[in-house]
Amino acid sequence: MPEDKINKAAAEAKAKLLSRKILDADYRYYTLANPDIDDYTYDMMMKELQEIEAKFPELKTPDSPTQRVGGSASNEFNAVIHEVPMLSLSNSYDENDLDEFDKRIQNLLKGEKYKYVCELKFDGIAVSLTYSSGSFLQGATRGDGTRGDDITNNLRTIRAIPLRLESKASIEVRGEVFFMLKDFFRINEEQESLGEKKYANPRNTAAGSLKLKDSREVAARKLNMFCYNLRFIDAKEESKQKSHYENLQTLKKLKFPVNDKTKVVNSIAEVKSFCDEIELMRDKLPYEIDGVVVKVDSLEQQKKIGSIAKSPRWAIAYKFKAKQAVTKLKDITLQVGRIGTITPVAELEPVFLAGSTISRATLHNSDEIERKDIRVGDYVKIEKGGDVIPKVVEVVLDKRPRNSKPFEMPDKCPVCKQPLHRPEGEANHYCTNSLCPAQVQGRMEHFVARNAMDIEGLGFQIIEKFIQLGFLKDITDIYLLPKHEKALKSIERFGEKSIDNIIASIERSKERPFDKVLFAIGIRHVGDRTARILAKHFKNIDSIISAGKEEIESIHEIGPRIAESVYDFFHTKANLQMADKLRKAGLKFESEVPAGASNKLEGLTFVVTGSLEKYKREEVEELIESLGGKASSSVSKKTNYLLAGAEAGSKLKKAESLGVKVIDEDEFDKLIK
């Protein structure tokens, strides 16, 4: 036998041995929290396996431990249709809700005996893992329950997730991805040391991490996971499964991370005791939870009980009460949002609450302040809404200072000193100056977004950096960045290639159609659909500028609030100057008729609903309008066709009741071709 074949055979055997040892070490460390080797030994095994795979690339498999470090960046996440929908749970907030849930189960099971399984409700992101013949095949987010995003490469980096099973089973496993608090705090310490913005909370950070395009960055975050559901893809094997709790034990045997606080109980009284016990230990856990999940244990009984549209009837989530604290309100300041929304903020004496120190809380608007009679100097009760966003619940009146005065809303923007405007019928005040420095960062982030000007590479951190360095003062400066190419490439930690990509993307953005430009410039109440309606009606920017409120409001689907906002925007001097600069930069401020466009759908009104397989909602609506049709958001007698995908819901029922023709994607394709 040739020597190279002998070497390869030996390398293959060694690679398999190393893989097995490393995967076992991952299981002991991340799932059992009982490591049996030190970090150095682990690193040396990983290094040796990487060297073997570098020499013999054909030995590198998708389930190799080396794949956990992540690979090159991906531009987008493909859609995944969940074979069995990932339903959400009904929530309960007190013991009466639990009693009502138990009564429903009794009635539905008609005297049968039943047990409950109580599990912790993790404050993380629900995902699905699919295994084929024992190998990790695909991972996806929950999404809307029917359709999620393929995040397989990012999930491979989570060391608690087994890449290869000792069994050859083909299964789907569901669970929650989250951060251990120590890892979340570590990330924020790193952010702080780099002078970057700290992340608000573990859950949102976990969600953002799973959608990072570079899986190497995900690997560095050190996400974790607990699994709570098992389904065998083979129908015969699935039919053999008897109980939810037994399935959890099967997951443990397959070396999936299953939380050890799960418990089987015999009555709703025992459920309540479990909830009380867990709520007491909540702050001592190394991860965040926000309640307890209660499920009927028998899988046969689960099927008998069934589900409603969005949630199973055999399970309920008992949500813990939001934690509260009392502290002093030192001042009320005004925060200016991306589109000029003025939000009053309570500046508080720092107080520790639900895992973090709170020094600020939103007061929403002046009406809210008046309704609760909140005054500077008051002692106030605060809580974290959903254990995330701090808010003022009420004033402790017996502690109010004698000389306190009601709060009065200022009449000028705290940043640019321009007059504030409160539209009739609205609770919010606004700064209408789009060049207000406080709005610059948010407006830029909106402007470059994928569904707006789609400028890749200009993320919030880079925009923030360019603002700090003086390259960006408003959105029009984005189109001056190519003139600063040399200076940009000299910035520390910025490579030439990344700047080249940004500049190329800026140039490509000039081809974006008029409706995208109209959406990108950030007119209050004008979303991408409204922007399409305006662009289709007026054809160009000059027609919009010269239109009166009545003309704008006369357009179908444009109400008085949108009409006033559009009119005010284009009657503000700074906004007109901004539009003029963007026009001179080469952006499209006029609708173009696509080559070969037809009026095949002229006079027809469509409503699109449900999850489509071939089209994104926005794409199909744009296609309808490009062919002369009208895409409406609501079903009426004037609707000609309802284009319905999976999970169509109430719009489908209304269309059927009104006799509106319902079509699927294949019928739509025939219609337009």
> Encoding tokens for residue 666?
């294949």
Nearest to 81 by CA among 609, 608, 611: 611
Measured CA to CA, the distance from residue 433 to residue 51 in angstroms comes to: 59
Measured CA to CA, the distance from residue 530 to residue 271 in angstroms comes to: 49
Where on the phi/psi map is residue 515: left (φ > 0), alpha (ψ -120 to 50), or beta? alpha
State yes or no: is 213 an active-site residue: no
Catalytic residue among 121, 384, 391, 651: 121
Q: Which residues contact 528 (CB under 8 A, 6 or more apart)?
A: 451, 452, 515, 516, 519, 618
- In this structure, what is the dihedral angle of CA atoms 665, 671, 672, 673, given to the nearest 10 degrees? 100
Cα dist. 105→88, 98, 244, 270, 596 in Å?
18, 11, 16, 16, 60
Measured CA to CA, the distance from residue 521 to residue 508 in angstroms comes to: 17
Measured CA to CA, the distance from residue 606 to residue 627 in angstroms comes to: 12
Nearest to 471 by CA among 454, 489, 484: 484
Measured CA to CA, the distance from residue 281 to residue 275 in angstroms comes to: 10
The answer to whether 347 touches 376, Cβ cutoff 8 Å, is: no
> Encoding tokens for residue 40?
């150095």
Half-sphere exposure of 28 (CA within 13 A, CB side): 13
- The residues annotated with a catalytic role in the active site are 121
